[in-house]
Amino acid sequence: MRVYIAGPYSPRKSRTKHEALQEVSKNVQRAIEAAIALIEKGHYPYVPHLTHFIHINPKCPKDYGPSWYYEYDKTFLEHWAEALLYLGSSEGADRELELAKKLGLKIFYSLDEVPKANKV
């Protein structure tokens, strides 16, 4: 199954830039760990959080805003995903959850809910 991973990326109310960067890093790592668990179950995850590495790359031509990333990720949700794994609430993740519902995708709220893939 092709599973889109939706979860928080941006920091909530961090007091310092250092804390904000730590929170973003934790969110990205959580999404990556969910992807690894999905792969272990035999599925194909899409991890929108990995665009973080485009965003922070010095060769990235400009500072793309949240709306650009949402549109970029939305194409995978609309045209590729069969299911969505919802890791937690954020403005973006909540929009992705609502879109997935409108598209009729399978929705999972925890990794435990995702079945192992059938071997073909």
How many CB atoms lie under 10 A from the CB of residue 47? 20
Q: Render pLDDT for 76-102 as a digit per residue (tens, 0 to 9).
A: 999 999 999 999 999 889 999 999 999
Domains along the sequence of the chain with CATH: 2-113 (3.40.50.10400)
Interval 96-115: pLDDT, tens: 999 999 999 999 999 999 99
User: Strand, helix or coil at 23?
Assistant: helix
* The two three-digit tokens of residue 48, written as one number: 């929108």
Which residue in the block uniquely carries the two structure tokens 């990205």? 28
Backbone angles phi, psi at 83, to 5 degrees: -155, 165
Task: Give the count of alpha carbons within 13 A of 22, CB side only.
Answer: 7
Model-level pTM?
0.88
Please tell me what DSSP assigns to residue 119. Answer: P
